Structure 1
Amino acid sequence: MSYRPAPRLEQSPLALHDPVAAANFPQTILRYRNQRASQSVGLETLSDAKWITHFGRFQPLPDNQPVPLALRYHGHQFRHYNPDLGDGRGFLFAQLLDDHDRLLDLGTKGSGTTPYSRGGDGRLTLKGGVREVLATAMLEALGVPTSKSFSLIETGEQLVRGDEPSPTRSSVLVRLSHSHVRFGTFERLAYRNEIETLRDLVAFVQANYYPECSDAATLFDAVVTQTARLTASWMAAGFVHGVLNTDNMNITGESFDYGPYRFLPYYDPNFTAAYFDHSGLYAYGRQPDAVLWNLGQLGRCLTLISELEPLIASFNDFNRRYEQELGLAICRRLNLTPQPDNALLATALYDFLATLRSDGSFEGLFYDWFGGILSEMRALSGPRAASYTGEVFTAFHDMLKTYDTAAPEKLDHPRFKQADPETLLIDEIEAIWAQIALEDDWAPFEAKLAAIEEYRQSLAL
């Protein structure tokens, strides 16, 4: 794969960004580079020194954006409209094509102040960077459409934060994403009544991400489908995003921007990730409703340039599409060949998950029964075998019998000889960070990433 620059937003007439300068960091210590992701965009041959020059000092990539661009957007935060948002500690650094000819963004987090920093320092804690690298690796392994953590560089500053021991170490993260055009990008234009720019934005999104769409209504319909697929993949992965504001959702249906996320230790629809989510608005079980509400805000913006009826029809069809995508996601996670209607399987699975309360039981169920009935001997001789009894389990087990294994050869992977699945629970993350914070020991972090990568290869979702 060769490097193919494509700075399309910078070359477009759209006034959706402001040129900014990156912070001048006192240090640039490379802590992580995603070699597999860099191969997909032709940057794998960069030396570490060149890597730091581009992703720590932000010297432009050849024939790409001459300067970083802080993106403009608004958003609903916990359903309260905020017109004072925008890239406050990040920017769009470059755009390029991947090995599937998709337009991708290289965006930053923690790269310094911008016109939208709102009094903040524009920085990212090293712990926050470590957490995001781990999150994206695990989500990719579990088949969730997600941004990829591309680079993490420690920057040598001491940051003060109210929600963790301070001073704490600093970092700058670069993520590779399909798009940074957010629902909030549309909201800003609607709020400002910039109708022509809104039309131009729709045209830009159609041309670069949804060429099959012919107008704003068909674009919204496609976004509804992609977002239903994303939401279903979160639920099947037992993932709680934590902050499902409209500025944290993009138009290509890709998960990004990981703050107070969590993976479920066991099934609990009321489980929240953010300590400040006092009402449980973004709890695990409420994520589909939160996403639908956000889609309503995007649709409302498009009413300024589209007929209302098709927008309403697409919006009203979200729940059906979500349920369909959830069934498909569960089949993928269990390595089963989907059937025309997988709703009974989903119901039986979640009914049984609701009876399990041990840490790791959510991921453990998917791991033990990966491959369906072909994994029965493995599941019933493993560490969770005692859980696989009773009437509710029998209903789930009976459903498994009606499904064929999609890819039996996956079970030959040596990873399935291990008793336990790979997990990324909060205690694991904290233990990894403690070794970095106390001993500057990166071995547990690197070992975890290697283990997650092996898990990804074994599941091959």
Structure 2
Amino acid sequence: MPISQSFRPARTHADLGGEFFDVVGAARFPTHIIRHRDQRQAARLGLDGLTDEEWIAHFGRFEPLPGSFDHPLALRYHGHQFRHYNPDLGDGRGFLFAQMHDLEDGRLLDFGTKGSGQTPWSRTADGRLTLKGGVREVLATSLLEAFGVNTSKSFSLIETGEALQRHDEPSPTRASVLVRLSHSHIRIGTFQRFAYLGDAASISALVAHAVRHYLPEATATAEPERAARFFAEVCRRVARMGAQWMAAGFVHGVLNTDNINITGESFDYGPWRFLPTYDPKFTAAYFDYGGLYAFGRQPETLLWNLARLGGCLLPLAGETDLKARLEESLHGFGALVQAEFARAVLWRLGLKPIEAERDAALSGLFFTALLESEAPFERAFFDWRGGRQRDYPHAAWGPVRAALASYERAAPDHSYFDGEGPATLLIEQVEALWEPIAERDDWSAFHAKLAEIEQARLAYLGASIPA
């Protein structure tokens, strides 16, 4: 059936001009097997009525969506990778396929790909994505959304019939192409590229574009004021994202500047992990030898990345105090993270906030107890939300019990919290989900896990994290 008339296409990124992207084509794949399609998100876009063949046409062969781009756009950007500047980045195995508006809230959204073929920025890489990598991203985004994290959505995953050679998993391995639904793919690294090129005009255009389409809170007539407001709003959103990661026990793994976007939406999942127990030194990437992106260092890393963005905006200062305004936003980042962290922890515990200082104290007590008792991270949230505090006799939980006496429930009980245990994705569980797919093409455990995660999402849905 044709695309619904309610579908609201857009092509705003093309308005920036050719200096911001390269027009590319998608790879041709031997076959297309749908492994995941997010019908809930498709309904928000007017795309839920597509047949499987139509779905494959748009999200496997990348035939244009009516009203959006005629051809995909490989976005240009630079970035710091493990704090070493790399001017040879860009969309190397993905592209911006289409843009559209959410039917419920009107937000401008992107369809970005992963594994869709080589681009001018691929260098020596094959531009492909392993099926295991695609499966892992579907799982990560699903559980993060359930736990209240502002994350991209894994809209589509299609197996493509190719055999790939990889050094970090048994090869040859199966291939896939992922379509990610995100609220902007404009990254800190996008600004870094123009700063590197000394192109202040493009930085100005990018700020104006971002404010108009993504950050209306930063609207201002004069350019330096707009840049200051833009930066403050990006800091606020990135602080919230980082705090949500911490409350979810999530380690992104590769917090390079090209992996942080301006809307504060978590995306681009590689060697991610969820904590077994609270450990600030826990790392996700086997190649993060110094623990630069360890769990406990994520807020510090986000601040470092934001400072790089601030530096890119300095050419817009003119005779104003823009530098001081940018520094003010950076200095306030820690307080933002603490406040957002307290909100996220209380939300996960199903409690109504009382007062900022007391809420922060409770969240701190809870994490101190997690550390000292070595309780399983997600199980502790599940049990305390579900009223099983008696199962935690360690003395460190005493102050938590005392503090909780002042709080009211923010949401009704849900049967999910009466179950045997929480939805989790520890590394050994992810490997166990992949094993039957790799050995027998058995997807039943994968689908069962997604169903379990959906129950967690519905359980938490009763109380939105306060703005």
How high is the TM-score relative to the length of structure 2?
Answer: 0.94
Deviations 1:252-278 (A, max 9, x none): 000000000000011000000000000
In the alignment, what sits opposite 1:343?
Answer: 360
In the alignment, what sits opposite 1:191?
Answer: 196
Counterpart amino acid of residue 329 in structure 2:
S
In the alignment, what sits opposite 2:335?
Answer: 320
The count of aligned residue pairs is 445
Q: Secondary structure at the match of 2:162?
A: strand
Partners of 2:343 and 2:136 in 1: how far apart? 28
Checking the alignment, whether the CA contact within 8 Å between 2:217 and 2:233 is kept in structure 1 is: no
Checking the alignment, whether the CA contact within 8 Å between 1:235 and 1:326 is kept in structure 2 is: yes
In the TM superposition, what is the alpha-carbon distance from 1:287 to its structure 2 partner? 0.4
Partners of 2:16 and 2:74 in 1: how far apart? 15
Deviations 1:314-354 (A, max 9, x none): 01100011111111111111111112222211210111000
Partners of 1:390 and 1:362 in 2: how far apart? 15
In the TM superposition, what is the alpha-carbon distance from 1:417 to its structure 2 partner? 2.1
In the TM superposition, what is the alpha-carbon distance from 1:355 to its structure 2 partner? 2.2
The aligned runs of 1:1-40 (5 Å cut-off) are 2-13=6-17, 15-40=19-44
Moved more, 261-270 or 208-217: 208-217
Deviations 1:128-155 (A, max 9, x none): 0000000000000000000000000000
Moved more, 41-50 or 8-17: 8-17
Partners of 2:191 and 2:373 in 1: how far apart? 42
Query: Structure 1 segments of 4 or more deviating over 6 A?
Result: none
Deviations 1:440-460 (A, max 9, x none): 001101110011001110111
In the alignment, what sits opposite 1:352?
Answer: 369
Partners of 2:402 and 2:240 in 1: how far apart? 26
In the TM superposition, what is the alpha-carbon distance from 1:123 to its structure 2 partner? 0.1
Moved more, 169-178 or 420-429: 420-429
In the alignment, what sits opposite 2:440?
Answer: 439
Q: Secondary structure at the match of 1:441?
A: coil
In the alignment, what sits opposite 2:223?
Answer: none
In the alignment, what sits opposite 1:362?
Answer: 377
In the alignment, what sits opposite 2:67?
Answer: 63
Moved more, 206-215 or 312-321: 206-215
Checking the alignment, whether the CA contact within 8 Å between 1:73 and 1:86 is kept in structure 2 is: yes
Checking the alignment, whether the CA contact within 8 Å between 2:373 and 2:396 is kept in structure 1 is: no
Counterpart amino acid of residue 356 in structure 1:
S
Partners of 1:15 and 1:404 in 2: how far apart? 53
- Label 1:352 to 1:302 Cα distance change in 2 as closer, same or farther (>3 A): same
Checking the alignment, whether the CA contact within 8 Å between 1:14 and 1:200 is kept in structure 2 is: no
Q: Tell me which of 160, 183, 194 is aligned to 2:165.
A: 160
Partners of 1:116 and 1:226 in 2: how far apart? 29
**Identity percentage of aligned residues:** 55
Q: Secondary structure at the match of 2:289?
A: coil
In the alignment, what sits opposite 1:139?
Answer: 144
Q: Does 1:453 align with 2:454?
A: yes
In the TM superposition, what is the alpha-carbon distance from 1:14 to its structure 2 partner? 5.9
In the alignment, what sits opposite 1:211?
Answer: 216
Q: Secondary structure at the match of 1:304?
A: helix
Counterpart amino acid of residue 13 in structure 2:
L
Checking the alignment, whether the CA contact within 8 Å between 2:101 and 2:108 is kept in structure 1 is: yes
Counterpart amino acid of residue 430 in structure 1:
E
Q: Does 1:329 align with 2:344?
A: yes
Structure 1: segments with no counterpart, 5+ residues? none
In the TM superposition, what is the alpha-carbon distance from 1:250 to its structure 2 partner? 0.1
Counterpart amino acid of residue 327 in structure 1:
A
Q: Tell me which of 309, 315, 323 is aligned to 1:308.
A: 323
Counterpart amino acid of residue 265 in structure 1:
P
Partners of 2:141 and 2:88 in 1: how far apart? 28
Q: Does 1:174 align with 2:189?
A: no
Deviations 1:164-214 (A, max 9, x none): 100000000000000100000000000001111110000000000112212
Counterpart amino acid of residue 168 in structure 1:
T
The aligned runs of 1:187-266 (5 Å cut-off) are 187-213=192-218, 214=220, 215-266=226-277
Partners of 1:52 and 1:107 in 2: how far apart? 15
Partners of 1:289 and 1:350 in 2: how far apart? 18
Structure 2: segments with no counterpart, 5+ residues? 221-225
In the TM superposition, what is the alpha-carbon distance from 1:15 to its structure 2 partner? 2.1
Partners of 2:417 and 2:344 in 1: how far apart? 20
Deviations 1:274-295 (A, max 9, x none): 0000000000000010000000
How high is the TM-score relative to the length of structure 1?
Answer: 0.95
In the alignment, what sits opposite 1:401?
Answer: 405
Partners of 1:28 and 1:140 in 2: how far apart? 27
Partners of 2:54 and 2:208 in 1: how far apart? 36
Partners of 1:83 and 1:436 in 2: how far apart? 38
Counterpart amino acid of residue 362 in structure 2:
L
Partners of 2:409 and 2:282 in 1: how far apart? 31
Moved more, 13-22 or 172-181: 13-22
